[in-house]
Amino acid sequence: MITGLLFFASISSLLFFALLLAYEFHLKAHTPAVVQLHPGDSIIYRKQKYSTHPCPRAYDVHPTSQGDSYSYFVDKFWTVENVLRDGRVLVTTRTHKHHYLRSNDPNLRRAGIVARLRFRKRFPHLEEAA
């Protein structure tokens, strides 16, 4: 009886996470060109870098034409601090640096449910005004 319940619970949780992933990928495939962001939203920015030693989180790594260094991408986990009238987005990093991004930047995407859960410690938390 208990093993049957455990089996049912494990199958149900696997099905739930599979549906959650499918929903997130469906949203990503049908996202508009301009992402509608609001203050407090978690975003993932795909940043291109060049180095002789790519970091462990690097992906899409390719050697440059001379072969002395590599070009690669790294995901940056930021939080929207403000959305400006001209469409730019002010984001903050974990080290409290600020960047201005265009809302139609192809490297910018809103973090889905799975990414927010998986990388929750990497997203900065906005400090409340006292």
pLDDT tens digits, the chain, 130 residues: what are they? 778 778 888 888 888 877 777 776 665 555 555 668 889 899 999 999 999 999 999 999 999 888 889 999 999 999 999 999 998 999 999 888 999 999 888 999 998 888 888 888 888 887 754 3
Residue 72 has a pLDDT of 95
Q: Supply the DSSP string of 43-108, one letter for each residue.
A: EEEEEEEEESS--TT-EEEEE-SSSSSEEEEEEEEEEEEEE-TTSEEEEE-TTS-EEEEETT-TTE
Residue 115 has a pLDDT of 85
Q: What residue segments make up the domains of the chain, in order of their start? A: 1-30, 34-130
Residue 29 has a pLDDT of 56
Residue 114 has a pLDDT of 86
Q: Which residues are paired to 62 by β-bridges?
A: 71
Residue 130 has a pLDDT of 35
Residue 129 has a pLDDT of 40
Q: How many CB atoms lie within 10 A of CB 75?
A: 17
Q: Which residues are paired to 77 by β-bridges?
A: 44
Rounded to an integer, what distance in angstroms lies between the CA atom of residue 73 and that of residue 38?
A: 25
Q: Which residues are paired to 55 by β-bridges?
A: none
